[in-house]
Amino acid sequence: MIPKTQRRIYENFRAQLIQLLHQVRDVAQRGQVSEAFYPLNQENSTAPIAALEIDRSETPITTNLRPTHSNSANSRPFGLISSGLANLQGMFREQVLTLPLEEIDSTHRAKVQSYQAEISKQLRLVGLDCTFLAAARQPQTQAQRVQQVIDRVETLIRYCHGILGEPEENSGLGQS
């Protein structure tokens, strides 16, 4: 079982993921995809993370999103998505990975470590998906890339449910 203090951190992380999911869907529905996703600075974001041996102090998953037109009238959607993703990555690195695994009962510890490794991987991949989305010029390709981002964020939410041992009902995965 997950201790209450850790549970709150995972619940907050999940809430942030749900908020990001709604923001991505909203940007896609408004047709502001090209303004909302810009290439990522991928320096230091490709270090491998072993499934059961996560370096909790030096996990380099933070990415910096930069708009190509910082003074454009459409920079608000960019700010929402980029800051949301950066906040999630920072929260994961600084709050989730620093949680002491010793406080988790032994029957759940390996499962939590495995989920943490998968979350780390998916956070890096959603950043790469945003890079590919920024490069997409055809509406059909943009739509596919947006769906990839949405699918990855939904996967991250499911991982949080797995850690918390909750059913996925009322998970925020439904269409907004």
pLDDT digits (tens, 9 = 90+) for 121-170: 999 999 888 878 777 888 888 889 889 999 999 999 999 999 999 876 65
Three-state DSSP class for residue 84: helix
Per-domain residue ranges of the chain: 4-164
- What is this structure's pTM? 0.73
Please report which confidence band the pLDDT of residue 110 belongs to, taking 50, 70 and 90 as the band edges. very high
Please report which confidence band the pLDDT of residue 173 belongs to, taking 50, 70 and 90 as the band edges. low
Whole-angstrom distance, CA of residue 131 vs CA of residue 157 = 21
The phi and psi torsions of 167 (rounded to 5 degrees) equal -70, 160
H or E stretch at 132: helix 106-135
- Which residue, among 79, 82, 76, has the nearest Cα to 39 in the 3D structure? 82
H or E stretch at 159: helix 139-164
Please report which confidence band the pLDDT of residue 41 belongs to, taking 50, 70 and 90 as the band edges. very low
Query: What pLDDT is stored for residue 50 in this prediction?
Result: 31
On the CB side of 8, CA atoms within 13 Å amount to 2
